[in-house]
Amino acid sequence: MVTESPNGRLRALPSVDRLATAVARAELAARRRELLNDDRDDEVDLVQRARARLAPGTRRVLNATGVVLHTNLGRAPLAPEARAAIAAAAVGYAALELDLDTGKRSRRGRRAESLLVALTGADDALVVNNGAAAVLLAAAALAGPGRQVIVSRGELVEIGGGLRIADVVAQSGATLVEVGSTNRTRVQDYAAAIGPETGAILRVHQSNFRMTGFVQRPDLPELAGLGVPVIDDVGSGALEGARPVFASEPTARGSLAGGAAVTCFSGDKLLGGPQAGIIVGAAAHVGACRDHPLARALRIDKLCLAGLEATLELHADPALGDVQIPVLAMLELSAEMLARRTEELASLTGGTVVSMPSAVGGGSLPLRELPGPGVELDPGPAGAEAFAGRLRRGDPALIARVQGGRVLLGARTLTAEEIPLAGDCVVRARRTRLPPSPSTPVKE
Tell me which CATH code domain 46-76+328-431 carries.
3.90.1150.180
Partners of 397 in beta bridges: 61
> What residue ranges do the domains of the chain occupy?
46-76+328-431, 80-324
User: Residue 439's pLDDT is what?
Assistant: 47
Q: Is the distance from CB of 133 to CB of 163 less than 8 angstroms?
A: no
Distance CA 436, CA 289 (A): 49
Residues 6+ apart with CB under 8 A from 415: 326
Pair type for strands 358-359 and 61-63: unpaired
Q: What is the pLDDT along the chain (444 residues), one digit of tens a residue?
A: 455 566 767 777 777 777 678 777 887 887 788 788 776 556 667 776 666 666 666 688 999 999 999 989 998 999 999 999 999 999 999 999 999 999 999 999 999 999 999 999 999 999 999 999 999 999 999 999 999 999 999 999 887 677 899 999 999 999 999 999 999 999 999 999 999 999 999 999 987 677 778 889 999 999 999 999 999 999 888 888 778 878 778 999 999 999 999 999 999 999 999 999 999 999 999 999 999 999 999 999 999 999 999 999 999 998 899 899 999 999 999 999 999 999 999 999 999 999 999 999 877 877 788 999 999 999 999 899 999 999 999 989 999 999 999 999 999 999 999 999 999 999 999 986 544 444 444 444
Whether 108 and 244 have beta carbons less than 8 Å apart is answered as no
Q: What is the dihedral of CA 174, 178, 179, 180, to 10 degrees?
A: 150
> What pLDDT is attached to residue 37?
78
Q: Which helix (H) or strand (E) element contains residue 233? A: strand 230-235
The number of residues making up the chain comes to: 444
For residue 214, give the nearest of 193, 240, 238, 184 by alpha carbon.
184
pTM (2 d.p.):
0.84
What SS3 state is found at 278?
Answer: strand
- 8 A C-beta contact, residue 203 and residue 142: no
Residue type, 369: E
Alpha-helical (H) ranges within 367-406 are: 384-392
Q: Tell me which fold the domain 80-324 belongs to.
A: Aspartate Aminotransferase; domain 2 (3.40.640)
